[in-house]
Amino acid sequence: LDRTTNGHGRVSDHDLAQLTALDAGYRYRSHGGDHRFRHRGTRIPLLVEVLQAFSSASFNIEIKGHEPSAVGPVLQVLRGFDPTRLVVAAANDGVMAAIEAAATPFPLGLAGHQVARLVRDVYLGRGISTRWQGRALQIPPSYRFLPLAQQAMVNAAHQAGLEVHLW
């Protein structure tokens, strides 16, 4: 909360009423240095509000944190929306396992360690297992000086039936 709002601490330490009362434009600073959104009623939107407001957009929903208990409430919100507009993922292995266990109708991404193993296999010339077919490989162009968004990586992912999403 400290990075983006006038609040302090972790999101998980606050209830919904406290979060929606925060000024989400408080810390925004334009290139000119002004705080044009401070005290303008900008608040943290609910996930359902964002999905409704941008009804023709597609979304990558990453469930943050390390608590698998967050998966159920998020999936409950998502069930009211077209699965073709969404990809659901988590960097945390435990959270991703809970998503996988929920057998959702949504396309899935991969957890951090799943991506690491996949990247290792491609770099070692092993290719990518088709067990990931239908998933999204979401990677940055590079990670710690290791180029990831290379043609060989994209080709291997596509051959295994994965979409590639760069961030």
pLDDT tens readout for residues 50-93: 999 999 999 999 999 899 999 999 999 999 999 999 999 999 99
Which residues contact residue 160 at a Cβ distance below 8 angstroms, ignoring those fewer than 6 apart? 127, 128, 129, 130, 132, 133
Q: Which of 18, 5, 163, 167 is nearest to 84 (CA)?
A: 163
pTM score, two decimals? 0.85
Which residues contact residue 63 at a Cβ distance below 8 angstroms, ignoring those fewer than 6 apart? 70, 71, 74, 88, 89, 90, 95, 99
Residue 148: the pLDDT is 93
Phi then psi for 95, rounded to 5 degrees?
A: -70, -40
Residue 34: the pLDDT is 93
* pLDDT tens digit sequence for 24-36: 999 999 999 999 9
Measure the CA–CA gap between 156 and 162, rounded to whole angstroms.
9
Amino acid at 18: Q
Residue 136: the pLDDT is 95
Q: Are 137 and 165 within 8 A, CB to CB?
A: yes
Rg (Cα) of the chain, in Å, rounded?
18
